[in-house]
Structure 1
Amino acid sequence: MRCCSVIDLTTLAGDDTDANVMRLCHKAARPIRPDLVKALGMENFKITTGAICVYPNQVAVAKKYLKAINAEHIPIASVATGFPAGQTPLKLRLEEIRMAVADGASEIDIVINRTKALQGDWQTVYDEVKLMKEACGAAHMKAILAVGELGTMENVYKASMVCMQAGSDFIKTSTGKEGVNAILPVGLVMVRAIRDYLATTGIKVGFKPAGGIRNAKQGLTWLMLMKEELGDEWVKADLFRIGASSLLIDVERQLYHYVYGRYAAEHQLAMS
């Protein structure tokens, strides 16, 4: 159940439609079948996912559907800044953030400039991320490092530190579109950077692994990493998220097996 509450339930496909987003909103508001929730004695917890995550042009659609089902309390996260490559002019990247916030996004997942990172131009990376944070206004900002494109663990650590220093509320492993996404060795480097930053500044920064996390066992492994390295505060949605589109399906599947002693047929679990 803890996995459910920290998932950023995501749809980031080229063929996303209003119907996809509507289904996503319904699943986020009721991630687990009511009979399973009742059997587990958790009816009073009002479990939802941590957020939903969509493209900027779907933010207004998501806001409309969440309002229609009385689930406006679920945060809307939007990718921005030329996701996933970030290869657009800075002016356009900043305007995309402002548009998403104006449409109702309360969280923005930005991508860093990997070109500048690979060239060792960390000042430009810092300056851009700082401007992105300013463009977010009151919205929380998650900085996507795209670790599969940074080349070395040293670059992953430097990128983590630069993004935190520039004001990122979260650091995130990947867009989910790279060849290497959320893997534990990289996650450990980023989590240690968060720990070092906390020790130096007293500021708590969240962490979001994303890409390739598809089953409940993987989700629990990431939760264990957070608990062991950063403590109980980092297993809650305000400081930890998992970016995933299919993880929730397996979590619900495993809960069904726990309650009924068998796995559900595909048609017995709602699509997300």
Structure 2
Amino acid sequence: MIDFNKYSEIKKSEIQNLIKNIKNNWKEKINKHEAYKKILSLIDLTTLEGSDTEKKIISLCNKAKGYKLKGKGIPNVAAVCVYPPFVKIAKKNLEDTGIKVASVAGAFPSGQSPLFVKIEEVKYAINEGADEIDMVISRGKFLEGNYQEVFDEIAAIKDVCGDKHLKVILETGELESLKNIRKASEIAINAGADFIKTSTGKISPAATEPAFIVMLDTIKEYYEKTEKMIGVKPAGGISEPWQALNYLVLVKDILGDKWLNKNYFRIGASRLADKILTEILKTE
């Protein structure tokens, strides 16, 4: 196994300067109309509330499949993301649309359950029809230095997922340092994650650009060593078009255009899609 203790501290000031330079480089080059259409096609339209109902999920699905019906080359979102009990109804309502059904599972959002409980919930979500699973790492175990246990949990859940995509949430806002985010990214990738994801959206801070840059750099290094592409998903607090555009630019600059599709890049959001649609129409 990789020595996950090998990293020196990552200086936040250097990361922030890199982000600033990337944004400045792309500010005038980006075609905003096309970029916003791309962003819409990358969204995991999400509802993860204790008050979720079947009626709310049906409404979410109708919204998800309604964008393309507006014409003008406007795409649908990539997926909807829901709790396991709502997977079946989402799957039924999105049949033949090409929109995936993602389910959080594995003791979301805390990760504080025994592994066998997590595995059973993942199995349930998949049996209900989930195309993708969004799990969250055990931050307590990670912060105690039990890296092998974190690795083994992810590997066990990936084994259950089989060919279903596994997105591993790092919950970067609880990992205490950029060095730890780097470490958690490597653990998740090497344990079998198809995507690494910033946040559950249930704590603050959620997605941040410095955390995201560290994740992108880890993916890039892994790709250079193995030629295997790992997906990435910022989520939590991304509610404005300019925020989503910044994340798109960071992926484009660091990983390149071949990552700019729903197979390798998603944006988790509940309030972003309609605002993106407004920007698409505004920039025609």
Q: Specify if TM > 0.5.
A: yes
- The correspondence of residues 46-195 of structure 1 with structure 2, limited to 5 A, is 47-67=75-95, 70-71=96-97, 73-195=98-220
Task: Report the counterpart of residue 203 of structure 1 in structure 2.
Answer: 228
8 Å CA contact retained: 1:31, 1:248: no
Q: How many residues align?
A: 248
- After TM superposition, give the deviation of residue 166 of structure 1 in Å: 0.5
- SS of the aligned residue for 1:60 comes to helix
Which AA in structure 1 matches 2:260? V
Task: Report the counterpart of residue 13 of structure 1 in structure 2.
Answer: 49
- After TM superposition, give the deviation of residue 110 of structure 1 in Å: 0.5
Residue 219 (structure 1) aligned to one of 239, 244, 247: 244
Relative to structure 1, the CA distance from residue 174 to residue 76 in structure 2 (aligned partners, 3 Å threshold; closer, same or farther) is same
8 Å CA contact retained: 1:140, 1:169: yes
User: For residues 193-236 of structure 1, what are the alpha-carbon distances to aligned partners after superposition, in whole Å with 9 as ceiling and x for unaligned?
Assistant: 00111112221100000001001111111110000000001111
User: For residues 13-43 of structure 1, what are the alpha-carbon distances to aligned partners after superposition, in whole Å with 9 as ceiling and x for unaligned?
Assistant: 1111111111111111122662xx33xxx27
Task: Report the counterpart of residue 61 of structure 2 in structure 1.
Answer: 25
Which AA in structure 2 matches 1:130? A
- SS of the aligned residue for 2:94 comes to helix
Q: Distance in 1 between matches of 2:114 and 2:229?
A: 31
TM-score by length of 2: 0.85
- SS of the aligned residue for 1:108 comes to strand
Moved over 6 A (4+): none
Equivalent pairs: percent with the same residue? Answer: 44
- SS of the aligned residue for 1:171 comes to strand
Q: Distance in 1 between matches of 2:184 and 2:160?
A: 20
Q: Distance in 2 between matches of 1:255 and 1:57?
A: 34
**Any gaps of 5 or more consecutive residues in structure 1?**
260-272
Which AA in structure 1 matches 2:50? G
Q: Distance in 2 between matches of 1:57 and 1:86?
A: 18
- After TM superposition, give the deviation of residue 250 of structure 1 in Å: 0.9
TM-score by length of 1: 0.88
Q: Distance in 1 between matches of 2:250 and 2:281?
A: 25
- How large is the Cα RMSD of the aligned pairs? 1.2
Q: Distance in 2 between matches of 1:228 and 1:257?
A: 25
